[in-house]
Chain A
Amino acid sequence: MQKLQEKPVTVSREGDVLIELDRVGKRFGEAEVLRDVSLRVNRGEFVSILGPSGSGKSTLFNMITGLLPADQGEMKVSGEIGYMQQKDLLLPWKTVMDNITLPLRLKGTNKKLARERADALIDRVGLRGYEDQYPGQLSGGMKQRASFLRTFLASGEIMLLDEPFGALDSMTKSGMQTWLLEVQESFGATILFITHDIEEAILLSDRIYVLSSRPGVVKEELTVGFGLGDKRERLLDPQLLRMKEAIKRLL
């Protein structure tokens, strides 16, 4: 908490906090995975958790989604959470449309309405014309976009993205990053993003929490203060390199 008070959040657009963690800790048997992790995510923000592998990033995610209980500390999550991983987790026996509408259908939304909602957004994820294909027929990037739309429809309030582009090749990856920025803008989604790619974190985020490895401790909370108008221009900004170096030293 102290860290948060030292660095007041500047990007908070509406001020309401959707996720708040206060000194959360987790251990699996002997191994301490997370210690005193405090963080918060405000509405409409893009927050990244950056850390090396083994820093308990995914454990943190599982705790926020409620799949794992926390051992210590307090956790407040207001709003529904959509969860997306590196693996697209599309069901190979369902068409793209049926995959995207699955969470709505599970909630009891009728088929027609679910399809209408998905149909309204399918252009934005660039999957128009692929509705009746099966995931096996799509490219890696398309699968991740389908997975993203499914996550968004499951819950547009808070989206937890766990290294969603980790399995993509670098060209597809950079395309997907640009796409994610556009989509976040137009959907107005709140995103908590996990990555171990420093550049990716700087490019996409409003704020970054840098996690150390085993046990995962928040080493630093950084606000990305440049390229606020168009994040895509950050790639050309020399400040990106400086920030990257600073983060590298932290890790």
Chain B
Amino acid sequence: MTRRIRPDQRLYPFLALLAVIVLWQLIVTLADVPMYILPSPTDTVNALIDDFGAIAGHVGTTLYESALGFLLSIALAFVLGILMDSFEIVRKSLYPILIVSQTVPTIVITPILIIWFGFGMLPKVLVIVMVCFFPICISLVDGFEKVDRDYVNLFRAYKSSKLQTFLHLKLPYAMVNFFSGLKIAATYLIMAAIIAEWQGGTKGIGVYMVRAKNAYALDKVFASILVIVLVSVVLIAVINRIGNQATHWRSR
């Protein structure tokens, strides 16, 4: 409601972006920068239109890998999160390892995964899970843990079973946290897929970008970036929407 009263709030970033694009176009045109150094915004859009079929096909593959990896990450995060919440020993053993594991650079692991599992989809999905699983799982575990003691006591006074307490209290309580973890994961999602594809593969927008770069077709590289950004923004918006629906009681 309050947003509709002041639509200008959303206008600011759009205007700022527009200004940058106009400036970029002007510089490229006026200084006559060659396309293999820096394509202009119009070059980028033209490349996108010209090669839309190919780009769409590659993006499709990337999205498929991403969806698979994302769902797998969520499932794994839930399994491990619930285990860590239910068994103190599991949490104590795994939580620190999980955090330290995030310091391992994904970009170095990827070629090894490719050596092990080939150029197909598996190593890509694995890289996505490595990147996305962590923020989801940690936010979920923190959410379970943050449940107010008074509520826990209340459920104990009602002689609620562990499963009931989980379903009626812990799970809904953790949803707020879960969705913020999911949003962080979503911002990394497409990037993780592309990092994996970049280092070896047969299809996917990352593969397409490597080929375009090697051919000095920077306009196509920029067109790919544009698509990736758009896809990511849509993805985050969708998650935001689902999250707001799932935690609608917060905004009231």
Contacts and interface: CB of A to CB of B under 8 A. Distances in A.
A134 B168 contact: no
Query: Size band of the A side of the interface?
Result: 20 to 34
Nearest to A134: B249
A89 B164 CA distance: 17
Nearest to A104: B158
A93 B252 contact: no
B150 A87 contact: yes
B249 A106 contact: no
Contacts of B158: 102-103, 106-107, 154
A128 B169 CA distance: 25
B250 A92 contact: yes
Contact of B157 (A83, A87, A91): A83
Contact of A93 (B153, B157, B164, B247): B247
Interface residues of B, number: 20
Contacts of B154: 83, 89
B160 interface: yes
Secondary structure dominating the interface of B: helix
Interface string B143-174: 00000001101111111110010001100100
Contacts of A78: none
Given A65-B157, A67-B156, A136 B168 contact: no
Contact of A136 (B153, B155, B249): B249
A137 interface: yes
A67 B164 contact: no
A65 B169 CA distance: 20
Given A81-B157, A83-B157, A106-B158, A92 B249 contact: yes
A170 B156 CA distance: 32
Contacts of B155: 106
Contacts of B247: 93
Contacts of A83: 154, 157
27 contacts: A62-B153, A66-B157, A67-B156, A67-B157, A81-B157, A83-B154, A83-B157, A87-B150, A89-B150, A89-B151, A92-B249, A93-B172, A93-B175, A93-B249, A106-B158, A106-B159, A106-B160, A106-B161, A106-B164, A107-B159, A134-B249, A134-B252, A135-B249, A136-B252, A137-B252, A154-B157, A154-B158
Interface of B: 150-151, 153-161, 164, 168-169, 172, 175, 247, 249-250, 252
